[in-house]
């Protein structure tokens, strides 16, 4: 749907959000990464990319609490450098954090894999002050929930337990942009870091004229139709 330089954020965390076949494959990927079975990891990643253009290299285990991706598991195991390089070439994010806030480089360092920790150290291309990162994250998540409401007063992202995009990931990307599809919305969000703010394009494919662009700053959400959240 987008150019190759736009990252894909897969926020799926619940097995009931996917067809059984994909649930099986996601568990196979997570099991292989946990066990250090890198041949199977790359086989699954290559197969889903070839069949359905799915980007799973930054996915976590469905229903799992740790938030570990294959790159985090590689750091924990002290995987060979060529394994890590291949994951990075597939688009694995160095800045992505686990549920307890650890990056892959942090895990490698704590496990004593010093050379790997250096390799996994993020290269920040678009630096932002730490407090602004947190404010942008909070405001982006508010916008997503506002833009994808449910009739009962909740929102699609919360109802489906989606893992929402992390602004910190954008700081390492050559083009600081990611596509975040929302199941049930029949569309989603294109989030792009521009200087010290986010431009957020969103639309619902089955609703004509639903396209809009909102701005997210550290101070708040600036809605297209005026006003702030």
What are 124's two structure tokens? 């920040």
Same domain, 111 and 188: no
Residues 152 and 186 in one domain: yes
Angstrom CA distances, 172 to 6, 21, 116, 180, 204, stand at: 13, 32, 18, 17, 28
Out of 119, 154, 188, a domain closes at 119
171 and 81, same domain (yes or no):
no
CATH number of residue 20's parent domain: 1.25.40.20
Q: Is residue 31 part of a domain?
A: yes
Both 18 and 89 in one domain: the answer is: yes
Domain shared by 105 and 146, yes or no: no
Strands 187-194 and 220-222: unpaired
Burial zone of 69 (CB within 10 Å; 0-12 exposed, 13-18 middle, 19+ buried): buried
Name the domain boundary from 119, 141, 158: 119
Residues 22 and 114 placed together within one structural domain of the fold: yes
Angle ∠(99,76,79) on CA atoms, nearest 5: 140
Contact indicator for 60, 27 with CB cutoff of 8 Å: no
Other beta carbons within 10 angstroms of residue 214's beta carbon come to 20
Q: Which residues pair with 2 in a beta bridge?
A: none
Tell me which H or E stretch contains 227. none
Domain end call among 119, 144, 168:
119
Task: Give the integer Cα–Cα distance in Å for 157 and 27.
Answer: 22
Whole-number pLDDT of residue 206: 56
Is 36 a domain residue? yes
Same domain, 97 and 161: no
pLDDT recorded at residue 151:
80
Distance, in Å, from the CA atom of 178 to the CA atom of 193, rounded to the nearest integer, reads 9
Residues 76, 30 within the same domain: yes
Whether 137 is covered by a domain: the verdict is: yes
Whether pTM exceeds 0.75: yes
When divided into structural domains, the chain yields a total of 2
- Widest Cα–Cα separation across the chain: 54
Instruction: Give residue 104's domain range.
Output: 14-119
Residue found under tokens 């195991």: 77
Q: Is residue 8 part of a domain?
A: no
Is 56 contained in some domain? Answer: yes
Residue 222 is inside which H or E element, if any? strand 220-222
Residues 146 and 103 placed together within one structural domain of the fold? no
Please check whether residue 188 lies inside any domain of the structure.
Answer: yes
Same domain membership, residue 192 and residue 106: no
Pick the closest to residue 188 from 14, 57, 52, 11 (CA basis).
11
Whether residue 124 is contained in a domain is answered as no
Count of other CB atoms within 10 angstroms of residue 91:
16
How do the pLDDT tens digits run along the chain, 229 residues long?
456 789 999 999 999 989 999 999 999 999 999 999 999 999 999 999 998 888 899 999 999 999 999 999 999 999 999 999 999 999 999 999 999 999 999 999 999 999 999 999 999 999 999 999 999 999 999 999 998 888 888 899 999 999 999 999 999 999 999 999 998 888 899 999 999 999 999 988 756 667 899 999 999 999 887 667 7
Residue 150 shares a structural domain with residue 67 = no
Whether residues 90 and 171 fall in one domain: no
35 C-beta neighbours (distance < 10 Å), count? 12
Domain assignment present for residue 5? The answer is: no
Identify the pLDDT of residue 30.
98
Q: What pLDDT sits at residue 98?
A: 98
């Amino acid at each position: 749907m987008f150019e190759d330089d736009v990252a894909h954020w897969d926020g799926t965390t619940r097995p009931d959000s996917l067809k059984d076949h994909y649930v099986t494959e996601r568990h196979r990927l997570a099991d292989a990464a946990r066990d250090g079975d890198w041949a199977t990891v790359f086989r699954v990643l290559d197969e889903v990319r070839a069949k359905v253009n799915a980007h799973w290299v930054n996915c976590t285990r469905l229903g799992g609490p740790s938030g570990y991706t294959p790159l985090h598991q590689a750091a924990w195991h002290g995987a060979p450098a060529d394994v890590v390089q291949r994951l990075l070439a597939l688009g694995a994010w160095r800045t992505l954090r686990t549920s307890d806030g650890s990056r892959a480089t942090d895990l490698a360092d704590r496990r004593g894999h010093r050379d790997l920790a250096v390799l996994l150290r993020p290269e920040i291309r678009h630096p932002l002050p730490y407090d602004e990162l947190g404010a942008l994250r909070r405001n982006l998540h508010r916008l997503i929930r506002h833009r994808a409401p449910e009739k009962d007063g909740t929102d699609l992202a919360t109802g489906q337990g989606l893992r929402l995009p992390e602004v910190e990931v954008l700081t390492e990307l050559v083009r600081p942009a990611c596509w975040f599809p929302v199941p049930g919305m029949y569309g989603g969000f294109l989030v792009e870091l521009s200087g010290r703010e986010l431009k957020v394009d969103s639309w619902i494919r089955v609703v004509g004229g639903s396209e809009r662009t909102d701005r997210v700053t550290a101070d708040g959400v600036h809605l297209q139709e005026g006003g702030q959240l």
